[in-house]
Amino acid sequence: MDFFTQLAQINSVESALAKLHSLAQVTPKVQKAIDVATLAHEGQLRKSGIPYVVHPLCVACIVAFYGGDETMLCAALLHDVVEDTLYSLEDVQREFDWDVGHLVDALTKIVEIRNEELSNNFNEKLAASALSFRKMLLASIKDIRALVIKISDRMHNMLTLDALPPHKQKRIAEETLMVYAPIAHRLGIASLKSELEDRSFFYIFPQDYKKIEQYIKDNSQSITLKLNEFTQKVSMILLQNGFNEKDFTIKSRVKRYYSIFLKMQRKGVGIDEILDLLAVRIIVPTSLECYKVLGLLHLQLKPVVSRLKDYIAIPKENGYQTIHTTIFEGANIYEVQIRTFDMHKSAQYGVAAHWKYKSGGREPNLEWLNNLQYQNDTIEEFYELAKNDLYKEDMVVFSPTGDIYNLPVGAVALDFAYAVHSDIGDNAKAALVNHQKVSLLQPLKNGDIVRIIVVADGENVRPRCTWIDAVKTSRAKNHMRIQCQNKLREIDKKTALSILKTIFDSSQDTILAYLKQNRLDSHIYRAVYDLVFLKEVKNSIRGNFAREANFLGKIKINMLKFKTLTFDNIVLQTNRNINEAIFDFCCHPKFGDEILAIKTAQKAYIHHKMCERAISEMEQGSEMLFVQWANEQKDTYKMIVALENKKGALAHLCGLCAKLDCNILSVEYDTLKRQFSTYCEICFESKTRDIKTLREILSKKYKIIELSSLKDAYLS
C-alpha cells in the first residue's frame, strides 16, 4: 500500500500521531505545535465527523514525507489555527518564532484571499483558480516552503474529498487540476503532481476514470505478463554487458490514469489504441551508465528513434533529468526511462529532494514565480498569462552561442526574442532559425538554433498589436501589451492636440503651450474618447483665448459650439461642416476597433488608430475630429456556459438574455453526457459594448466558461 493510500485511511488522532512519529523526529518544538493545534481545534470536527486536528497532523505527515524541516512541520500543524480558531498570529509568533509565524501568515493570507474572492459574484472558475493561486504564488516568491505546505494541505483535502457533496467535490477537483498539480510539476515533485492529477480526474470525469480503470483490471494479467517479459529481457541485456545485479533497478508500471486520458484526448483514440501504455524505468548509479544502457537497448532491440528525448544533457526547467526512449518488442511498444538514483529522487521529490536527501539532481528553476508578478492586470489577463507559464509542455531551443532556452511547445521566434531580453523582443526585426531567415511568427521546434535580427540605430519598430495572440509566453504577451498601450497613448495625445487645433483653427504649438501652462498635457489623451473632458478643455482654452485681444480677431466664439453628426454607425462631434464620413481603403477598421477621423475639406476619413498612413498624415499636421462608434450598433458575442442538468435550465438562460436585450443567434449543446452539468455555446447580439460588465451580470446567475466578441478587432 503506497504512502497516500495509507494516509487516506487515517481517521483518528492516535493513528495520525503514530504516522507522524514514524516519518519525522518530533522535537520539543514540534510537540508544542501538536499540543497547540490539538487545544485550538478541540471540539471541531471535519465534514466526515473525525476530529479536525487529524487534518493538520496529516498535512504535517506529508510535509515530513517530503523532508520538511522543524519550522515547516510547525507551520503545517498550525496552518489553520489563525483562520479557524481564537488563536492569533501574534500568539503563534510569541510562542514559537518569527520563521514559523512568517510561514503561518503566508498560508493564512492565501486562505483569506480565496474566501474573500469566492464570496463575490465573479466567475467561479476564475475566482477559485486564478485569484487564489495568484496570492499563493506571490506569497511564495520569498519562501518556497509556504507553497510546498499549501500543496500538502491540498493533497490531504483530496484524500478526504469523499466526505463532501458532489458539486463541491467537482469544484475542488477542478481547482486542484488547474492550479495545484501544475505548480507541483513546476516544483519538480512528480509524485505529488501525479497523485493530485489522478484524484482530480476521478471526481471531474468519473465515467472516463472508471472506463480506464476497468480496462486496466480486465487486462491486468496480460499487462503484467508483457511487463515481466520485457523487464527480464532488459535485465538480461544489462547483465550480459558488464552490469552487476546490484548496480541497477528496473521498475515497470502502467501509465497513470490521467496521463492515459490526456493522450486519448490529444490523439482522439481509445485506450486500446494507445501505443506506449506500458512503461519501464531503469535506474543506475551514474550518468555515463545511463548512456551505456541507452546504447545497449538501441543496439539489441528496436528503438523508435524519433521519440528519443535526452533530458540528462538538457534538463527540464523543473530540474527533471531522464532519458526517454521508446522500444518495439514482441508487437508491443514500451516507454523506457533511464536515470540515476539521484535523478530519481529529484524527479519524485523535486525541490523537496534537497531537504529530504541533502543531495540529488538539479534544483528546479523558480524564475517562473517571478514572471507572474503582474499586479496591474485584470484577473482574466493574469489567468491567461499564468496559464501559459504553468500549463505548458516544454521544448528546448538554442541561441547561436549555445545558451539553452526553455519555451512552451508552439512558441514562435518572437517568444525566443523576449526570452533573451525584453529589448531584443521590442526591437526584433527578423529571425534566423537554423541559419534560414524566417518570420518572427515562425513556430519553433525542439532543438532549433535561433538568432534574432534587431533594428539598426535610428530605425523604429511599430508595435505588433495584432500578434499578441500569436505568441505563447506570458513574458512576450505582457511586454507587447505594454508596448501597444504606450503607442496608443502616444497616438491619442497627438490626436487630441490635432482635434483641438482643428476646433480653434490655431497652431498645435499654441494649444500645447496652453496645456503645459495649465498642467493638462499629461492627461490630454483622454480627450480622444471622453467627450465631456474634451468640452471642458475646449471651454478652458476658449476662456483663455477670449481674454487675449489679439486672438479675438482671429476667431468667432460662437463658432466653437459642437454639433453631433451621425453617418451610419459613425458619430462625429465637431464645430466644422462635415457632409460625409468615409472608411479609407488602407486599413478597413471593423466595428469596435480603435478609430480616428482625419478631416479633408468637408469629409471625415475614418482610419484604424494603428494605421500607418493615418499616423503619417497626423504627423504632417492634418486636421482631425472627435469620432466614436454609434451606440446603437450591436456587437456579436460567443458565450460558453455550464448549465445544470435539469429541466428548464436553457429556458431560464434565454430569459435572462432577453431581459438584457440580447438577440440569440444560435445555440449548441455539448454532446457529452455529464453528471451535474452540460456545456452550452450561445451566439448572441447585444448593444452592450463593455464585455466585462456583460460577463459580470451573467456570472451572477451562471458559470461562464468563455465570453468573447466575434467582431474583428486589432486589439482584444
Instruction: Encode pLDDT of 1-21 as tens digits.
Output: 688 989 999 989 999 999 999
Nearest to 690 by CA among 627, 626, 637: 637
At 122-145, the pLDDT tens digits run: 444 444 455 555 555 665 556 778
Residues 163 and 48: beta-carbon distance below 8 Å: yes
Least confident of 287-291, 332-336, 372-376: 372-376
pLDDT of residue 474: 78
Nearest to 123 by CA among 662, 658, 691, 688: 691
pLDDT of residue 526: 87
Q: Which residues pair with 583 in a beta bridge?
A: 606
pLDDT higher than 50, residue 600 = yes
Strands 332-340 and 394-398: unpaired
pLDDT higher than 60, residue 654 = yes
pLDDT higher than 60, residue 547 = yes
238: its cell numbers:
544489462
Helix (H, G, I), strand (E, B) or coil at 572: strand
pLDDT of residue 337: 95
pLDDT higher than 90, residue 466 = no
Whole-angstrom distance, CA of residue 708 vs CA of residue 540: 40
At 695-709, the pLDDT tens digits run: 878 887 888 877 877
At 253-312, the pLDDT tens digits run: 898 999 888 888 877 778 877 777 899 999 999 999 999 999 999 999 999 888 888 989
Percentage of the chain beyond pLDDT 70 is: 84
Residues 362 and 346: beta-carbon distance below 8 Å: yes
Least confident of 117-131, 425-439, 551-565, 646-660: 117-131
Nearest to 188 by CA among 65, 64, 319: 319
Contact residues for 524 (Cβ-Cβ < 8 A; gap 6+): 493, 496, 497, 515, 537
pLDDT of residue 686: 81
pLDDT of residue 122: 40
Residues 573 and 566: beta-carbon distance below 8 Å: no
Q: Which residues pair with 250 in a beta bridge?
A: 282
30: its cell numbers:
514540534
Least confident of 402-416, 533-547, 567-581, 609-623: 533-547
Q: How confident is the model at residue 109 (pLDDT cuts 50, 70, 90)?
A: low
Highest mean pLDDT among 206-210, 406-410, 666-670: 206-210
Nearest to 593 by CA among 572, 576, 609: 609
| Mean pLDDT estimate for the chain | 82
Nearest to 483 by CA among 457, 501, 467, 465: 465
216: its cell numbers:
486496466
pLDDT of residue 645: 75
pLDDT of residue 512: 85
Q: How confident is the model at residue 112 (pLDDT cuts 50, 70, 90)?
A: very low
Nearest to 473 by CA among 377, 398, 395: 395
End-to-end CA distance of the chain: 51
Residues 339 and 347: beta-carbon distance below 8 Å: yes
pLDDT of residue 357: 60
Contact residues for 689 (Cβ-Cβ < 8 A; gap 6+): 592, 629, 631, 635
Q: How confident is the model at residue 34 (pLDDT cuts 50, 70, 90)?
A: very high
Residues 695 and 704: beta-carbon distance below 8 Å: yes
pLDDT of residue 289: 95
- pLDDT mean over 518-544: 84
- Per-residue three-class SS string for 627-672: EEECCCCCEEEEEEEEEECCCCHHHHHHHHHHHCCCEEEEEEECCC
Nearest to 334 by CA among 214, 245, 232, 197: 232
Residues 575 and 561: beta-carbon distance below 8 Å: yes
pLDDT higher than 90, residue 340 = yes
- CA distances 152 to 18, 41, 83, 87, 403, Å, are 18, 19, 17, 22, 35
At 343-368, the pLDDT tens digits run: 998 888 877 766 666 554 566 666 66
Residues 27 and 35: beta-carbon distance below 8 Å: no
Whole-angstrom distance, CA of residue 411 vs CA of residue 431: 13
Residues 363 and 351: beta-carbon distance below 8 Å: yes
Least confident of 72-76, 523-527, 666-670: 666-670
pTM: 0.64
How crowded is residue 121: how many other Cβ atoms within 10 Å of its Cβ? 11
- CA distances 130 to 21, 58, 376, 382, Å, are 36, 27, 14, 7
